[in-house]
Amino acid sequence: MPRELVINGTRIADDSPCYVIAEIGNNHQGDIVKAKELFRRAKECGASAVKLQKRDNRALFTSAAFERPYDNENSFGPTYGLHREALELNLGEFRELKRYAEQEVGIDFFSTAFDVPSADLLAELDIPVFKVASSDLTNLPLLKHIARLGKPMIVSTGGGTMEDVERAYEAIAPINDQVCLLQCTSSYPAEPIDLDLGVIQTFRARFPDTVIGFSGHDNGIAMPLVAYVLGARVVEKHFTLNRAWKGTDHAFSLEPVGLRKLVRDLRRTREALGDGLKKRHPSELAGITKMAKSLVAARDLTAGHVLTRDDLALKCPGGGLPPYELERVLGRRLTAAIAEDDGITLEVLEASAQGNGVVGAATTARG
């Protein structure tokens, strides 16, 4: 079967443009108005989709984890659980944001589900695709539950081994064949030495029917371009309106100018890769002709003269007989006089060379 994924009518495959996800996560700071602005700006930048995160915090964390003091410059609550609750959007807000994204902005909207209740809530909203975070790569019960919901799945693989990825894939594939695997490094930010972009090719070889992508927690926009060249067709990057805003993810997120350049450069990269056929483009002709060489007379030559190497020069511009035709004209007799720097043309040469049956035969056969 072809390596293909369809999200909300958009086909993603080796021959398709890159599907770019603006990962908003909790960068909305729990504010639906900010979330809407992020959606609108992501669309203006050319992103394919916006993505949030959904957690049932009371069910997700142990009591100790929920009550752990969380007092720092990025905290939205005195404990980690209350911090997370302050950033959480409810079902009504998710429903409003889905409507806004689809009907007013015109961009795909979906979310990561961190637990079964959140997955069921998102299924109720009928989102077009589910995201699974790297932290749940080994969570087979959640993977299987989401797979049974019947929507495409995008699975990040940060912090995992190849064995973890294979185990997750083998749990999903018998239930749901619409899956995308993202190479990811779960460091924030991730340094270039830790990105392991070559894994994209490893994934493509190991999972030949599966769309592969890249979830980048690195700074900048260069690495997604490399990922695309290596075969990634889904790229996810964190997105914010201000990298100085309160919150842990803003510092390594792209602002609108960065996201716009990323989408632009991914489009250019696809165009630049071409079809693999070496060709001469119309845009090259003027420059190539100007600087290429042609065979010309090195001095004034009379009719009947038999050409030798000393009679010929290689000079700009091109457009006449190219230098690779040199051996073809040596030993041929001129049928008309030509002046210095005049181009040598087959029309002013006799059909056969003098005193060289082999050259003459070849020349006659080609002429």
Residue 80 sits in the same domain as residue 155 = yes
Q: What percent of the chain has pLDDT over 70?
A: 95
> Phi-psi category of 286—alpha, beta or left, where left has phi over 0 and alpha has psi -120 to 50?
alpha
219-237: burial string, b at 16+ Cβ within 10 Å, e else: bebebbbbbbebbbbbbbb
Of the residues 273, 297, 331, which one is the last residue of a structural domain? Answer: 273
Give the model's pLDDT for residue 243: 86
Shared domain check, 337 and 219: no
Are the beta carbons of 312 and 360 closer than 8 angstroms? no
Task: Mark which of 273, 301, 336 sits at the end of a domain.
Answer: 273
199 Cβ contact partners less than 8 Å away, ≥ 6 residues apart: 183
What percent of the chain clears pLDDT 90, i.e. is strictly above it? 88
Nearest to 54 by CA among 81, 10, 90: 90
In the chain, the number of structural domains is 2
pLDDT, average across residues 181-204:
96
**194 and 333, same domain (yes or no):** no
Give per-residue pLDDT as tens, 5-59: 999 999 999 999 999 999 999 999 999 999 999 999 999 999 999 999 999 999 8
Residue 357 has pLDDT above 90, yes or no: no
Is the same domain home to 104 and 212?
Answer: yes
Name the residue among 105, 103, 94 with its Cα closest to residue 127. Answer: 94
Give the CATH number for residue 286. Answer: 3.90.1210.10
Predicted confidence at residue 359, as pLDDT, reads 40
Domain boundary among 211, 245, 273: 273
Residues 260 and 327 in one domain: no
pLDDT in tens, 224-275: 999 999 999 999 999 999 888 888 889 889 999 999 999 999 999 999 999 9
Kindly report the average pLDDT of the chain as a whole number: 93
Q: Rounded to whole angstroms, what are the CA distances from 171 to 1, 39, 184, 210, 291?
A: 19, 33, 20, 14, 61
Same-domain status, 166 and 308: no
Domain encompassing residue 251: 4-273
The closest alpha carbon to 48, from 226, 228, 236, belongs to: 236
Instruction: Name residues whose C-beta falls within 8 Å of residue 40's C-beta, 6 or more positions apart in sequence.
Output: 105
- Per-residue pLDDT, averaged over 60-76, amounts to 93
At residue 233, the pLDDT reads 98
Whether 198 and 172 map to the same domain: the answer is: yes
360 and 332 share one domain: yes
Residue 153 reports pLDDT greater than 60: yes
CA 34/CA 259 separation, integer angstroms:
17
**Together in a domain, 244 and 198:** yes
Task: Identify whether residues 103 and 121 lie together within a single domain.
Answer: yes
Q: Is residue 358 over pLDDT 50?
A: no
Neighbours of 162 (CB within 10 A): 12
| Claim to verify: residue 208 and residue 289 sit in the same structural domain | no
The residue assigned the tokens 């079967």 is 1
Is 204 in the same domain as 309? no
Residues 199-209: pLDDT tens digits?
A: 999 999 999 99
- Look up residue 225 and give its two tokens: 């371009």
Q: Note the pLDDT of residue 351.
A: 85
Name the residue among 172, 100, 95, 190 with its Cα closest to residue 136: 172
pLDDT tens digits for 286-323? 999 999 999 999 999 999 999 999 999 999 999 999 99
